[in-house]
Structure 1
Amino acid sequence: MGYYVNVEPGVKVYVEDVNPGGNKTILFIHGWPLSHKQFEYQFDVLPALGYRCIGLDWRGFGKSDKPIDGYHYDRLADDIKAVISALQLHNITIAGHSTGGAIAIRYMARHHGYGVSKLVLIDAAAPTGFTAVTAKKLLTDTYNDRPQMIQGVTDTFFFQYISSRFSDWFFQMGLEAAGWSTAAIIVTLRDENLQPDLDKIHVPTLIIHGIHDQVIPFAQAQELNNRIKYSQLVPFEYSGHGPFWEERNKFNHLLAQFIG
């Protein structure tokens, strides 16, 4: 089931809602520059186990509206709050990947974890995101040859082999975003720091991170584990930045076990 939720006047975000009658709810927050579709291999499995799986596309990405502004963590966290409130969600698990993990952290701090009982951070771009050098290159590439930039992201994303067809699918997902939103998130990842937010997370937190991640170093997962109370870190030994696909069976089992 797919529908739109108004998050502010004139801006709607797309929501994919699978198994609305499920016993427990997982809200998936995708990474940059992708969409909820990146979690296809969770949506294939977890609803059949009784979970309600909700995936949303951030503003500017996937099927959501693409306004010219609002691409900072506070506004993106407010969009999450609008969706949770509109759907009247309670006692849910938020699972955020990469920049989605950073948005989830800001949501937990800014909105006091409203409606959330557990948190899953997947190769989270936190407490920092891109270095100034990395951001400069990505911005230059985005403004001059965005398809090539996205192909470069795809090429460094995975540790395990992906087929050319899978690479094409992943690449096309990135192209669904607007150019301006793609660039704006690079600036956010460069400029924002989530250090002050970490002490405000007070729910059980599962940290999943591929040890071969070339996008967000594994050391950052260790830092999150040290800073977030009630957190546990599970290294994924055969994954880069995409354990939700590279070790999807382990990932899905671990997620279900953590949620209960």
Structure 2
Amino acid sequence: MGYYIHVEPDVRIYTEDINPRGKRTILFIHGWPANHNLFEYQFNELPGHGFRCIGVDLRGFGKSDKPWKKYSLNRMADDIYCVIRSLQLENITLVGHSVGGAVALRYMSRHCGYQVSKLALLGAAAPSVVQRPDFPHGLPIEEVNRLIEGTYQDRPKMLEEFGASFFHQKISRPFAEWFLNMGLEAAGWATAKVAKAFRDETLFSDLCEIHVPTLILHGIHDQVCLYPLATALHKGILRSKLVPFEHSGHGLMWEEKEKLNKELIKFIN
């Protein structure tokens, strides 16, 4: 079941609601540059265990509206708040992958974790994707700049090359095309502006505002959000648990889907 939820008078966010009568609710926030379909291999299994799974397309991506402006972490966190309020969700597990993890963290600090009882971060783009003077563990800023420049110059090529670095395990050509097409559903300007957001914004101060049990799942071969980001999150978030994924890059929701699904089920139950 799909919904369009107004988060601003002229902006609607698309939300896919799978198994609405499930006993417990999981809200999924996808990463850059995909959409809620990135979690297909969780949606295939978790509803069968009695979970209600809700996938959100961030503004500018998937089936959501694609405004020209407002792609900060604050604005995207506010969109999640509107979705949770509109659907009257309670006692949910919030799951964020990549920049979706950054949005989830900002939601928790900005909205005091409203109606969230547990948090799961998958390859999260936090606390800083890029290297900084006091944080040498991220990517060189030039790598993110190349993604932004590639978005404006030849977005299909950029997305194809990005997809090649996304996964550690070998993927089939049809799978690569599926992943590419998800990225192409986004607006080019949204793709670039969200990349600028995760390049320029940090979440160090947000970590101490997380007061719910937190599960951190991260591929040790991740070339997009390097594994040291996960250790920094684990150090900064009280009551957090870090589980390394030894055979995954950034695409752990597919590369080790069985392990990821089991870890989520165990964590939520």
TM-score, scaled to structure 1 = 0.99
Q: Report the equivalent of 2:127.
A: 127
Q: 5+ residue gaps in structure 2?
A: 131-139
| Cα distance per residue 1:210-251 (max 9 Å; x no partner) | 000011110110010001000000000000001110000111
Tell me, in whole angstroms, the C-alpha distance in 1 between the residues paired with 2:105 and 2:87.
20
Q: Is 1:257–2:261 an aligned residue pair? A: no
Q: Report the equivalent of 1:28.
A: 28
Q: 5+ residue gaps in structure 1?
A: none
Q: Report the equivalent of 1:149.
A: 158
Total equivalences in the alignment: 260
Q: Report the equivalent of 1:92.
A: 92
Tell me, in whole angstroms, the C-alpha distance in 1 between the residues paired with 2:51 and 2:145.
41
CA shift, 1:43, in A, is 0.4
CA shift, 1:85, in A, is 0.2
Letter in 2 for 1:143: Y
Q: Report the equivalent of 2:169.
A: 160
Q: Report the equivalent of 1:78.
A: 78
CA shift, 1:180, in A, is 0.4
Tell me, in whole angstroms, the C-alpha distance in 1 between the residues paired with 2:142 and 2:156.
20
TM-score, scaled to structure 2 = 0.96
Tell me, in whole angstroms, the C-alpha distance in 1 between the residues paired with 2:40 and 2:122.
15
Tell me, in whole angstroms, the C-alpha distance in 2 between the residues paired with 1:251 and 1:22.
20
* Helix, strand or coil at the partner of 2:16: strand
| Cα distance per residue 1:183-212 (max 9 Å; x no partner) | 001110111010000000000000000000
Tell me, in whole angstroms, the C-alpha distance in 2 between the residues paired with 1:47 and 1:120.
17
Which of residues 213, 219, 224 in structure 2 aligns to 1:210?
Answer: 219
Alignment map for 1:1-260 (pairs within 5 Å): 1-130=1-130, 131-260=140-269
Tell me, in whole angstroms, the C-alpha distance in 1 between the residues paired with 2:230 and 2:239.
14
* Helix, strand or coil at the partner of 1:150: helix
* Helix, strand or coil at the partner of 1:27: strand
Tell me, in whole angstroms, the C-alpha distance in 2 between the residues paired with 1:254 and 1:80.
24
Tell me, in whole angstroms, the C-alpha distance in 2 between the residues paired with 1:78 and 1:211.
31
